[in-house]
Amino acid sequence: MLGKKYPEREIITKVLRSLTSKWLSKANAIVEGVHYQSGTLTFDQLRGNLITDEMTILDQNGENKKKSLALKASSQEEESDENDDGEEDKDFALLMKQFNKFAKKKNFNFKGKK
């Protein structure tokens, strides 16, 4: 009898039953809700309700924030890499200067510049 009077309610019930255990509390809240009890809950309302809850859960877990932080971190790494290149160039220049002094003391033959 429910199938003839409320065909959409059967679909909603099947959807709620197919949700994973992660959604159990939300499914119970929907079933106990006024719209479900009165038979006025539409599939679109159910879908919107579940999507909204999913977005809320993602925000609480910080999954959306992780993406934005990852982008910020990569831009900071690029800036720090640019700074590191300058420091590495200075370090390399100092190393070459020290090596040249060492080589002159030991009388190494250099091809090219003297």
What pLDDT, on a 0 to 100 scale, did the predictor assign at position 95? 83
Helix boundaries (H) for the chain: 2-5, 7-18, 24-32, 34-38, 43-61, 63-105
Q: Which residue has the higher pLDDT, 26 or 109?
A: 26
Residue 68: per-residue pLDDT:
52
The residue ranges of DSSP E strands in the chain, in sequence order, are none
Retrieve residue 30's tokens: 């929907």
Residue type at position 14: K
pLDDT higher than threshold 60 for residue 37:
yes
Q: What is the pLDDT of residue 3?
A: 46
Amino acid at residue number 39: G
Note the pTM of the prediction, 2 decimals. 0.47
pLDDT score for 2: 47
Q: Does pLDDT of 81 surpass 60?
A: no
Residue 77: the pLDDT is: 53
Specify the amino acid at residue 4: K
